[in-house]
Chain A
Amino acid sequence: MYLKEIEIINYRLHNSLKIGPLAQTNLLLGNNGQGKSSALEAIHLLFGVRRAANEEIISFGQEQAVVRGRLLLDNQDREISVCVYKNKTKTIKVDKKEAKKTPEKLKTVLFNPDDTQALKQGPGRRRELIDEIMGQIDHKHTYWLNQYNANLRQRNALLKSPNASHQSLEAFSQKLVEAAEKVINGRLVAIKEATPLYNKYHQKISGNNKRAELKYQTSLDTKDIKGSLVLRLKETRQEEAARRQTLAGPHLDDIIFFEEGINIKKFGSQGEKKTAALSIRLAQYELIKKKLGAHPVVLLDDLVSELDAGRRARLLGAPRGAGQVIISSTDEEITAEEGDGKVAIHRL
């Protein structure tokens, strides 16, 4: 997989932006506020991961945003385009023909300075992180997550409505429980596969050999997810009626990042949080690589500037190899340092 050219239309502040021809290593240069992050986010969307709502993505006053990429896939020239519309829908075209989803082999990992927030904020960001990773390893995970969320929305709406009958609640509960089992099992697989890699990179970046691991935290019994969720929903019925929302299930679970048994979110330093965020992205990178048998495209959003030279070298040493890398920065000096002269520079 090799990206040749990207075209971004009506995406946030980009009315029409072309980036290309792309090389193995690319530097996206621009001042603050010129849309480097948006450009990387748009490329991320092209690869099937949407991190923001359509209304946010589409430029003001426009009806749709388009990201188009020309690339080499299995030695063939392909054109992929993703179009998102105001009415929350999305179309994907492969070689101008409508497709159900982006080709399996188009995968990317985005390293974002924002990732550290996942280790500072509530559990939502950590769930998103693990769901994104699992969704890239197994497409079915995203399907079940959507099913779960849609069921949850309906069930919560039902709990809020004045004439919710026991039977209608049961009808939505049954499907909710089914989807919940798939979602939790998916997350457990992702955590099981990611933990050893996470540990490996964590030690590599921090330069110590402290044991780093991920654990899934849930109020349910992971050996009998369905049974325990059914029980929990029964137990919390009165409280649910009073608080008018579903009070058990994967939408309330958390993923805990540990370093030598210490919860990094609670007790870690800024640097440790940064290291944890980078390590999980590197684990994601390696998981995808294992699944694809090829390197995913790596997008580094302004991250290199945040790190000192030693950590940067250790970080970039890992994903750089055979894979394509796009780095955004305000700093031209990075080129000299990272480039070996083989860097294509794209100014915004």
Chain B
Amino acid sequence: MFPKTVESLVNELAKLPGIGPKTAQRLAFFLLKTPAAEAKKLAEAINAAKDTVVFCPICFNLTDQKTCQFCSNPERDKNRICIVEDAKDIIPIERTQDYKGLYHVLQGAISPIDGIGPEELRIKELIDRLKKGEIKEIIVATNPNIEGEATALYIAKLVKPLEIKTTRIASGLPVGGDLEYADEITLSRALEGRQEI
């Protein structure tokens, strides 16, 4: 229906996560309408990112340096590692400004259905890191869904013989929310994890 080049642009865009065929079409036509310089900027940004961004060899966060901004920062607490599924999960944790330790990005969660086992994740590298002896605590911040929970339990079991304090982030009520609006499941979890005051 369209020239071949347009079609291939649509196909490439449709490969992106969260983009269906219709959105891909809309994006393609938007790009065709924008001035050439603007569109080129996008292409260059993609190129530049792909050329310079690599995984940090220590924690597997994204970086354009030798090691990432956390691993190379001497101010960070070297005794703690927060384990996340994806590099993007670091952003909300950093926003809290309460965590000053290091990270470890697993690059996914265990999901046998998708053929992702522990070998596909950066778990072996995590254990190697922990064996070096500097780490006193790991905080497992994988997502609170089936795959994230299983990954957390898996890591906890592996780490146990190393005798490193292993914690899991809590789940419960959002701060500032009304009890009235909390769903039963979240509220049950919050009740289970109640604390003495």
B-contacting 9-mer, from A24-32, A116-124, A163-171, A214-222? A163-171
B184 x A171 contact (CB < 8 A): no
B150 x A163 contact (CB < 8 A): no
Residue in chain A with minimal CB distance to B20: A87
Contact with B along A157-180 (1 / 0, CB 8 A): 110110111011011101100000
A91 shortest CB reach to chain B, Å:
15
Residue A16 CB within 8 A of the other chain: no
Set B112, B149, B157: member contacting A161, Cβ < 8 A:
B112
A167 x B157 contact (CB < 8 A): yes
A-contacting 9-mer, from B69-77, B94-102, B114-122? B114-122
* Bound CA–CA A150/B112 (angstroms): 11
Residue A100 CB within 8 A of the other chain: yes
B150 x A168 contact (CB < 8 A): yes
A154 x B150 contact (CB < 8 A): yes
* Bound CA–CA A161/B111 (angstroms): 11
Set B111, B147, B151, B185: member contacting A143, Cβ < 8 A:
B185
A175 contact set on B, CB distance < 8 A: 146, 149-150, 153
Give the number of chain A interface residues (Cβ < 8 Å).
24
Set A140, A164, A172: member contacting B150, Cβ < 8 A:
A172
B77 shortest CB reach to chain A, Å:
28
A170 contact set on B, CB distance < 8 A: 153-154, 157
B20 shortest CB reach to chain A, Å:
9
Give the number of chain B interface residues (Cβ < 8 Å).
21
Classify the secondary structure of A's interface with B: helix
A172 contact set on B, CB distance < 8 A: 112, 150
Given contacts A140-B184, A154-B112, A161-B112, contact A167 B150 (CB under 8 A): no
B111 contact set on A, CB distance < 8 A: 154
Among B135-155, those with CB < 8 Å from A are: 146-147, 149-151, 153-154
Set A100, A157, A167, A174: member contacting B112, Cβ < 8 A:
A157
Residue A51 CB within 8 A of the other chain: no
A140 contact set on B, CB distance < 8 A: 184-185, 188
Set A139, A161, A171: member contacting B115, Cβ < 8 A:
A161
Question: 16 other contacts beyond A154-B111, A171-B153, with CB at 8 A cut-off?
Answer: A139-B184, A140-B185, A140-B188, A143-B184, A150-B146, A151-B150, A154-B112, A155-B112, A157-B113, A165-B117, A167-B158, A168-B112, A168-B150, A170-B153, A172-B112, A175-B153
User: What would be 8 A-B contacts, judged by CB atoms less than 8 Å apart?
Assistant: A140-B188, A143-B184, A150-B146, A154-B147, A164-B112, A170-B153, A175-B150, A175-B153
What are the 3 tightest A-B residue pairs by CB atom distance, in nearest-first order? A157-B112, A158-B112, A171-B154
